[in-house]
Structure 1
Amino acid sequence: MSRRDQLLSLACLLSLSEWTLCLEAPETRGLCVSQYEERNGAWLSMSGAMSVYVQANHRPEWYWQEVFERRGLPDRGVLGDEDSRVDRLSGEAQGQILGCGVHGGRYWEIQMYYQRLYDLAPKSMRTKILKAFAESSGANRPRSGEELPPSMRVTLCIPAECDKPMIRETIIPRFFAPKHVGLEPYEAKDALQNALDVNELADWSDINIDFVIGGVFFCGTTSLHRNLDKHPELAFSSPEEDYFITAQMAHRLLPLKSDVAAFNQQLEAAKDAKAQATGHRPHLVGIRNPMIFHLPLARHKIARITKAKMILILCDPLGRLEKAFMFHLYCFQGNLAEAKQQGLASNFTFLGSPRDDTCFDSASVLLTERDGELKSFWQHAEVAVHVPNLAQLFRGRMMVVHQEQLRRIPKNVFASLAHFLKVSPELIPSSTRHNSIGGHRTDLCHNMTLVRALHRRLQREYDMQAQLMKTDKVTVSRLRTTRCSEIDQAKATFCPNAECA
């Protein structure tokens, strides 16, 4: 140790120096600060990706242009294309967190609560905070704390030797506080403690999911889930739909490490429960969420879990549209309350909001209100606009099943699924149906003119299925046939929210 360093250490021990002086003593600043200081430029070059995403239509186009320009990302074809936005921003985030790890760092999300900091800071510091915010953000200088944003979220690559307390008490006060909040390190150390959240981030590939039933809703995802769950080598995170990706992690481009750890524990607990129930511990665990295919950010997240395989089940587009209409919008000849009790009608709309007494007496509104009152319903029911992107993201690790195959050749389908998932085909379960509602669900199939008109409206959906089946070399004999053509000959099933006998 040099003579200067010895004197600095002695000064700190004797409390004869400012806090900043103590930071410079090698013994007290430790490997964390020295590593960050020596390679400051490298750490900053792997910092700054967005960790939370907002939907495109929640921000004006100029905002997105500025975001992509500021990050040096190409914006050609991005504006107006949700998948492209998500792909570029999630790709940037994943690139940074992986690059950070390769260079011996860990990736952190820092959330600074500006208004809280301003309110808690001594009056002598408040002018500094307002001035520093304006200079670092390029915004007009706020006149008071009320004009500050509630918070600012940034991502930082920081040496692995730094833990959360070190980041809160040393890295942020010393290297970021002077510029971003106008406070010297010794001022910021205390002022920031109640205005700062520091959380380590993880990559989506850290989630231990092996397979996903990712859609399509109203096509038999429940039946597929319940039948696959009978296989002793397979387990599911939940007996119902799993909303970790689409709800708890709804807007995240990168998950918090703590959330990933908690979810992985849930997955291991599911395996343990299956082992206790069957005496055989499964080696694969999956989730079911029939909306994943429909959500650009959700399907990109799952795609980042490189070992995860996607299972997609399709069905007759017209039959699916009618079932969604029945469940969310049909009046049931005025017996809506009774239909809800039977499980035929939902208490919520197709868009997730609570359902009031507004309903429709006839399926004819599917045509007459296609571009009117039911425009959002139709947009939400679209499959063809989402599946090609899903197929591209999961190229080589996606299996497509058609509901007709499950009904006509279930053993063949489950043998193929066993091969796809690499589990024992000898343990294929017997197939059962769940939530099946046959016969005349609404007045649709009594009106063949309406059936033909809606069939024409759904040609894009039928074409997409035909192309996907052709690509995967899957044969479905009645691919373009609606359920209405066979409704009088088929055996009607009725088991809403239950297994059919």
Structure 2
Amino acid sequence: MDQRFTAVETQARHCWALGGRYWEFVLNTASYVAGFRISGGDAPCEGCLEDFAARWQQVPDTLIGGLCAPPPCGAAHVTGLIFTRHMERLLQLTFRLPAPDAAQAEARELSHWSQLRLDFVVAGVSSCGTTSLARTLEQLEGVVFSREGEDDFFFRHDRLLPYRSEVDHFNRQWLSKLGPVPRIRGLRHPGLFHSHRIRLALKHVPALKALVVVCDPLSRFEKVFWQYHLCKVPGRPNQVPAERCVSSVTSAVQ
């Protein structure tokens, strides 16, 4: 994960340093290739069609990549021109590829976690006091949260970099919440602690403070252990949802 993140970030920063815009490109390869209309008489050389099909078999069914485009280019330019030229070079083709339609390809501009306007997060382990801490902080005049409850902003997708539209929307929300009094901006979600990808993202938010709430491991184990027994008591209704029951003491330890 660390190496992938570094590789993607390096490519994006190099693009931005050149004054470009960095885009994520997603192609439904099977749908795109199935839409080709090339007859034998159109082939520029003998055996080209067979070779062309063989080259596309090396491309994943869903192709996801990053492309650097000049500042004036929008999503339509990326899908209709830059992508096709890139694939022509990648596959070493001697003829022009058709532009994919909207159902076959999508381009979205990427941003960086460092562009988020966020001062702190309340993270931790579920049922360990994350909500109580956040509610206490909400009472302070100098603190404002992105949402009243848990904010799933970092869980909306599994990309290593955020989409620019998401970052812009996240940052704009503070305009209606901050008011004339300076306030620090926070986000809370107990699941932030569990995701390596999200921890990498938070690491790149400038000057971000993370409040991590954890539980005593022995008390947490005791709770799970007794849930196992409460689920198994004959003639007594379950005290916890069935999906939270464990099948054995061993599974409770795991």
Q: CA deviation at 1:104?
A: 1.0
The yes-or-no answer on 1:226 pairing with 2:226 is no
The yes-or-no answer on 1:90 pairing with 2:1 is no
8 Å Cα contact 1:128/1:182 also seen in 2: no
After superposition, the Cα gap between the structure-2 partners of 1:170 and 1:149, relative to the gap in structure 1 and judged at 3 Å, is closer
8 Å Cα contact 2:225/2:252 also seen in 1: no
Distance 1:284 1:149 in 2: 45
Q: TM-score, normalised by structure 1?
A: 0.44
8 Å Cα contact 1:129/1:181 also seen in 2: no
8 Å Cα contact 2:221/2:252 also seen in 1: no
After superposition, the Cα gap between the structure-2 partners of 1:320 and 1:175, relative to the gap in structure 1 and judged at 3 Å, is closer
Match of 1:374 in 2: 252
Q: Please list the CA deviations of residues 303-348 of structure 1 after superposition, one character each: whole Å capped at 9, or x if unmatched.
A: 1112211112234221233345567884284222xx4xxxxx3565
Number of aligned residue pairs: give it: 244
Q: Please list the CA deviations of residues 377-413 of structure 1 after superposition, one character each: whole Å capped at 9, or x if unmatched.
A: x3xxxxxxxxxxxxxxxxxxxxxxxxxxxxxxxxxxx
The yes-or-no answer on 1:335 pairing with 2:250 is no
Distance 1:170 1:99 in 2: 21
After superposition, the Cα gap between the structure-2 partners of 1:301 and 1:227, relative to the gap in structure 1 and judged at 3 Å, is same
The structure 2 residue matched to 1:153, chosen from 56, 64, 68, is 64
The yes-or-no answer on 1:296 pairing with 2:196 is yes
The structure 1 residue matched to 2:219, chosen from 296, 315, 319, is 319
After superposition, the Cα gap between the structure-2 partners of 1:305 and 1:281, relative to the gap in structure 1 and judged at 3 Å, is same
After superposition, the Cα gap between the structure-2 partners of 1:323 and 1:162, relative to the gap in structure 1 and judged at 3 Å, is same
- Taking the TM superposition and a 5 Å limit, the aligned residue runs for 1:16-165 are 86-124=1-39, 127=50, 129-134=52-57, 137=58, 149-165=60-76
Q: CA deviation at 1:160?
A: 2.1
Distance 2:61 2:12 in 1: 26
SS at match of 2:30: helix
8 Å Cα contact 1:292/1:299 also seen in 2: yes
After superposition, the Cα gap between the structure-2 partners of 1:193 and 1:291, relative to the gap in structure 1 and judged at 3 Å, is closer
After superposition, the Cα gap between the structure-2 partners of 1:359 and 1:330, relative to the gap in structure 1 and judged at 3 Å, is farther
Whichever structure has more strand as a proportion of its residues is 2
Match of 2:168 in 1: 261
Q: CA deviation at 1:220?
A: 1.1
Q: TM-score, normalised by structure 2?
A: 0.80
8 Å Cα contact 2:126/2:190 also seen in 1: yes
Distance 1:220 1:109 in 2: 38
Tell me the amino acid that sits aligned with residue 234 of structure 1.
V
Match of 2:108 in 1: 199
Tell me the amino acid that sits aligned with residue 150 of structure 1.
D
CA RMSD of aligned residues (A): 3.0
Q: CA deviation at 1:268?
A: 4.6
After superposition, the Cα gap between the structure-2 partners of 1:329 and 1:132, relative to the gap in structure 1 and judged at 3 Å, is farther
8 Å Cα contact 1:242/1:288 also seen in 2: yes
8 Å Cα contact 1:213/1:290 also seen in 2: yes
After superposition, the Cα gap between the structure-2 partners of 1:347 and 1:222, relative to the gap in structure 1 and judged at 3 Å, is farther
Return the index of the structure with the highest Cα Rg: 1
Q: CA deviation at 1:212?
A: 0.7
The structure 1 residue matched to 2:77, chosen from 166, 174, 182, is 166
Same amino acid, percent of matched pairs: 27
Distance 1:175 1:234 in 2: 47
8 Å Cα contact 1:131/1:182 also seen in 2: no
Q: CA deviation at 1:265?
A: 3.7
Distance 2:17 2:29 in 1: 33
Distance 1:183 1:268 in 2: 52
Q: CA deviation at 1:221?
A: 1.0
Match of 1:214 in 2: 123
Q: CA deviation at 1:374?
A: 3.3
Distance 2:172 2:63 in 1: 31
Whichever structure has more helix as a proportion of its residues is 1
Tell me the amino acid that sits aligned with residue 91 of structure 1.
T
